[in-house]
Amino acid sequence: MIIDKQINFHNPHGFTCRCKCDICGKLFYRKAHWAERTKHQFCSQPCTRLYKSQEVTGDGNGRWIGGKQERWDGYFYIYDIESKNVNKYTMEHRLVMEHFLGRKLKDTEIVHHKNRNRQDNKIENLQLFETQRDHIQWYFLFRRITILLYLSIFKFNISLIFDNI
């Protein structure tokens, strides 16, 4: 923490800051242009190493952005301290389904977005499948029905056009 800024005639940059170490609380002097660049001030290398060795997570971390991240493929990840993943992030739609069911999901269970919008994580839009196989079977059945429905509508529209000629 910077306490005050003083003119120093021996310093080519002109100013020196009196700082307080964030670890041990010791008062020390540092060139102003160095002190103003950093968020934390340390009096020595051991204090710097001690600070860096502490695992700073959550709100205490300077890079914390609220615990919600969007992945490159469109899924949202939420910070979950109870997660089995190494980085402690879990897909948001899985957390929503777990909260709705009142239990943890099995690793084999698949949560499907009905409207295919990966960012729409409302419970009405989510569907749970026991295995990946069930999900694939449902998907191909749904696709087959959609194609048949499309063809029947398309065929019906063509017959209307030719009937009017």
C-alpha closest to that of 76 among 62, 96, 56? 96
Domain boundaries in the chain?
A: 2-55, 69-130, 133-165
What residue type is 71 in one-letter code? R
Per-residue pLDDT 10s for the chain (165 aa) are 566 666 565 656 667 788 888 889 898 888 877 777 888 888 899 988 888 777 666 666 666 667 888 888 889 988 887 777 767 888 999 999 999 999 999 999 999 998 889 989 999 999 999 999 998 888 888 877 777 777 776 665 555 555 555
Q: For tokens 């009017």, name the residue.
A: 164
DSSP 8-76: -TTSTTSEEEEEE-TTT--EEEEEHHHHTT-SS--SSHHHHHHHHHS---GGGSTT---SEEE-TTS-E
91: helix, coil or strand?
strand
Q: Which tokens hold the place of 13?
A: 């940059």
Nearest-Å Rg of the Cα atoms of the chain is: 30
What is the Cα–Cα distance from 118 to 75, expressed in whole angstroms?
6
Q: What is the pTM of this model?
A: 0.53
Across the strands, what pairs with 122? none
Q: Give the containing element (helix H, strand E) for 77.
A: strand 76-79
